Amino acid sequence: MTPRLRCVIWPLKPRLAPLNDLEDMMTDLAPLRRALISVSDKTGLTQLGHALAARGVEILSTGGTAKALRDAGLEVRDVSDFTGFPEMMDGRVKTLHPVVHGGLLARRDLESHRDAMVEHNIGPIDLLVVNLYPFEDTVAKGADFDTCIENIDIGGPAMIRSAAKNHAFVSVVTDVADYDVLLADMDANAGQTTLALRQRLAQTAYARTAAYDTAVSTWMAGAIGDDTPRRRSFSGTFKQTMRYGENSHQAAAFYTDGTHRPGVATAVQHQGKELSYNNINDTDAAFELVAEFDPAGGPAVAIIKHANPCGVARGATLLEAYQNAFDCDRTSAFGGIVALNQPLDEATAKAIVEIFTEVVIAPGASDAAKAVFASKKNLRLLTTDALPDVKAPITTYRQVAGGMLVQDKDTGHIGMDDLKVVTKVAPTDAQMADLLFAWKVAKHVKSNAIVYVKDGATVGVGAGQMSRLDSALIAAKKAERMADAMGLPAPLTIGSAVASDAFFPFADGLMEAAAAGATCVIQPGGSMRDDEVIAAADAAGIAMVFTGMRHFRH
């Protein structure tokens, strides 16, 4: 094909490069001759600027970005010079201009677009490098309403969307991690970028603006007190691929939500193979559970299997807490997840490695503990800077066919003063301590949940049954089995406290707990047959308290 137009000379703009040769436009390669760079996160900025300049790319920029590039010895053209229009309104209006968006949006393969560029003196922009005002960080720092509003980027998202739409000709970079990827693609293609790269960058760009708008809309709903906004959006940032999901035939990946809550998403992995889908899910459950126990009250350890606790305990030391938790259900602990509420020490590490353990997570670990784990190459050790705040308000999401269930995270807590004694016999102080311990654990057990506790340690856990009676039976049977394995004269459920995550609909579940040896009960109350259940407890000489709060976990 013989092109009608070989090149364009831009009037009054002698430094603007000509349009791409039409023959070049017919390939998937796009020459990169002019870049507009405007970034809040200046990580890697000067290195990118030097790399582009060395490859003959003209740089346009604004404000602080332009200053940083000039301070690094680079030649930079102000966007206001490029547009012929000054920045105004405290910088709110600077890139919102037809010359900028025309340079990004113009299709180089359409004669009408080329003619319009000549007529209106619009030069092409081949690369846009923009990351947005730090709105999310501003909100995270607790800034006031007006400050948050001022940190909503307008020009950035507009340019990003323009460049991404025209990715047939324009490259758009919104992530520092893509700087080297861009340069490598240019070097492999004589200063041009491939369509495959531009498509991937465009997808990333649209995801970034979507996540940004999600952050703004979510914040604004909270700021104006709208708990159920008519439209709600969700976003995440890719962290890693998984070998598979819950099962080997399911594809999976892990995304973070940017909240920086201490836990598996923000932890440092010191050793071991990559975490699996199930590892991440179970580790999250373990760490959220152990965080219920304030380190100021002493060491605590939770052992999790399939997102349910198989042992939770406090102790005078971490080692004692681990051993007590392990003794609740040694069988299920094999291949489990261990979470600690204090930094891991050497003695506890030595006890943990005596059986196969998938993951250990703690708010820190000593060098000696890390050395113990070093011999177990498949064991993953994760450390965090802190425990999650179990009382902090969080929104949780669960997908269902055709929609999404949204709710507040269960941050409900019960203290001594919240309990109502409903039986003739009141719990002793020691029993009350075990009841509150059992209640904290029951909150993290799949419903229907029954949890037996004695002396600050679980001694039987019944989880996820269709009947509360069955959960009580299973937990008691597990305790009997552990007593036999440990050579004890009787199950540890004798003399224990028992927690039920929801009310007993009939007295049978309560009587099963009594038969297992429980001497006190904590439950929400609220059943139509509460009187019948209370009477059964009185007849058995059992103390019972109501919380007025349930902890269903489905």
Active site members: 165, 306
In the block, residue with structure tokens 């001759």: 33
Element (H, E) at 369: helix 367-373
d(CA 497, CA 431): 7
Element (H, E) at 431: helix 429-442
Angle at 36 between CA 34 and CA 40, to 5 degrees: 155
d(CA 463, CA 471): 6
**Residue 129 · residue 175 · CB < 8 Å:** no
d(CA 534, CA 254): 47
3-state secondary structure (DSSP) of residue 46? helix
Produce one character per residue of 146-167: b if its CB has 16 or more CB atoms within 10 Å, e if not. eebeebbbebbbbbbbbbbebb
Question: At what angle are helices 530-540 and 507-515 packed, to 10 degrees?
Answer: 20
Q: Which of 370, 387, 368 is nearest to 267 (CA)?
A: 387
Q: Which residues contact 457 (CB under 8 A, 6 or more apart)?
A: 311, 312, 313, 314, 315, 324, 325, 327, 328
Distance of CA 423 to the CA centre of its chain: 44
Per-residue DSSP letter, 427:
P
Residue 533's CB: how many other CB atoms inside 10 A? 25
Distance of CA 435 to the CA centre of its chain: 32
d(CA 545, CA 427): 8
Element (H, E) at 360: strand 357-362
Element (H, E) at 77: strand 77-78
Q: Which residues contact 127 (CB under 8 A, 6 or more apart)?
A: 32, 34, 35, 36, 52, 57, 170, 171, 172, 173, 182
Distances (CA, A) of 397 to 233, 236, 406, 471: 11, 13, 5, 27
Identity at 162, one-letter amino acid code: S
3-state secondary structure (DSSP) of residue 331? helix
Q: Which residues contact 187 (CB under 8 A, 6 or more apart)?
A: none
Q: How far apart are the first and last CA of the chain?
A: 65
Beta strands at 253-256 and 237-241: parallel, antiparallel or unpaired = antiparallel
Identity at 549, one-letter amino acid code: M
